[in-house]
Amino acid sequence: MNALRKAIEYIWLHAWEYRANRRQHSKFVEKIRKDEPIVVVFMAIDVALWRYQHLYELMAKDKRFAPYIVLTPCIVREYEKDLANLRNYFDSRDIPYIDYNEKKGPYDIRKQLDPAIIFYTQPYEYLLVPEYDCRRFYDRLVCYMPYAFWTFATFAYNLHFCNRAWKLYYPLESYRQAAVRQATNKGCNVRVVGYANADEYLLKQHTDVWKSLSDGHRRKRLIWAPHFTITHIEGSIPARSNFLWMADLMVNIAKEYFDRLQIAFKPHPSLLTQLYKIDGWGQKRTDEYYALWDQMENTQLETGQYIDLFMSSDAMIHDSGSFAVEYHYTKNPTMFVSKDMKDTLSTQSEFGKLAYSMHYIGATEQDIRHFIENVVLKEDDPMKPQREDFFQHFLLPPNGKSVAQNVLDDIVESLHL
């Protein structure tokens, strides 16, 4: 009974805290609503996770807002490469940003910018350097848009961050309903706007990022995108990556199908860090393996943005939860690799199960080779009509608008601008 009472008290105290936080937000909105421009900060930790480009551009054109991009290291990763990729990404587009200087320390956002609104890339505390951590800014209007599709039945809906944020911009109504059921605040801060990356797929002109081959012959283009969860992660994320048994296989396939196939190795951003820790791999072997994909004639290594890669591809093989939905923007065939699909589906929401049902399933080398030979090379693709229907029903943003416009409209309305 003592444990039960403590649990009830814990929930009650947090519920009180979240209600107080919402009252604080209301007072803050009244305080700033007449300010112009309203300062907005976008935290950027990795190019592959950057989802706010179109919203930033809309705000940059709107005199009511003053948006800033702040580069911030994710301290649980090898962030030096992440920051370098971010600099290259924004520099190539002539987009100004506030850099992170290891020697000088973090930029004092509160003192120098005094932001009203702060957008985070991930909903986790203790993820960034303390000066940029979301815990320091709950008195401001913290916002979040998932960088990936969640397909798990229970995932992130009741995090402390999600209960304390001002606005959570989710892709689907089913996400909002899950938050209503699972979050302590009953999902009162959730708005449905569409998937963050939808604008990148639907609005922009896509570039062919596949490297030119010496013979000039156009091969079928296949993406291999392994997840990072080689082992169980901190008691919460189950191991799902098939990288260890597929690593040599995929290299061999690239060599065997040299004259018919071009393969892009698109690892999860965290796979590198995990492989550094795995017995039998380590930094030397991992770096050499990544370099091999970068150097073979008909392969390439992709570690940054992937929209153009997806849209100029022909098919994908992966074991990523988010890509299980997101690759369907291409309407191309895709294979999900799992040796126990029943176990995989047991953790999924109804939406997640539907997304997986649009996949060819691979449990063995034979399955993978059959997919490549028949679906990719011979274009025998019976699931194509199902993917078209899934795209129309679930992947287009609501209200006939872009995702960024849906978010901006909600902010303007909420601030009574």
Mean pLDDT value across the chain: 91
Confidence of residue 78 (pLDDT cuts 50, 70, 90): confident
Fold classification of 2-195+398-414 is: Rossmann fold (3.40.50)
Taking each helix axis from N to C end, the angle separating 243-256 and 282-295, rounded to the nearest 10 degrees, works out to 30
Please check whether residue 117 is in contact with residue 154, taking contact to mean a CB–CB distance below 8 angstroms.
no
Rounded Cα distance, 344 and 238, in Å: 10
CB atoms within 10 A of CB 346: 10
Please check whether residue 320 is in contact with residue 268, taking contact to mean a CB–CB distance below 8 angstroms.
yes
CB atoms within 10 A of CB 217: 10
Answer yes or no: same fold for 2-195+398-414 and 220-395: yes
Confidence of residue 48 (pLDDT cuts 50, 70, 90): confident
Write down the pLDDT at residue 164. 95
- Predicted confidence (pLDDT) per residue in 147-181, tens digit: 888 888 777 899 999 999 999 999 999 999 999 99
Indicate the domain borders of the chain. 2-195+398-414, 220-395
Write down the pLDDT at residue 239. 65
Quick one: the chain helix, strand, coil %, rounded to 5? Answer: 45, 15, 40
Write down the pLDDT at residue 148. 85
Rounded Cα distance, 291 and 285, in Å: 10
Task: Put the strands of the sheet holding 38-44 in their side by side order.
Answer: 65-71, 38-44, 117-120, 141-144, 167-170, 190-192
Using alpha carbons only, what angle is made at residue 10 by residues 9 and 12, rounded to the nearest 5 degrees?
60
Rounded Cα distance, 315 and 370, in Å: 13
Residue 92 has pLDDT above 60, yes or no: yes
The dihedral through the CA atoms of 268, 271, 272, 273 has a sign that is: positive
Q: β-strands 190-192, 167-170: how paired? A: parallel
- Predicted confidence (pLDDT) per residue in 256-286, tens digit: 999 999 999 999 988 998 999 999 999 999 9
pTM above 0.85, yes or no: no
Q: What is the CA radius of gyration of the chain?
A: 22
62 or 304: which leads in pLDDT: 62
Residue 8 has pLDDT above 70, yes or no: no
Decide: helix, strand or coil at residue 148: coil
Beta bridge partners of 117: 40, 141
- Predicted confidence (pLDDT) per residue in 184-230, tens digit: 999 999 999 999 999 999 988 899 999 999 888 999 999 999 998 88
Write down the pLDDT at residue 231. 65
**Which homologous superfamily does the CATH classification assign to the domain defined by 220-395?**
CDP-glycerol glycerophosphotransferase, C-terminal domain (3.40.50.12580)
CB atoms within 10 A of CB 244: 15
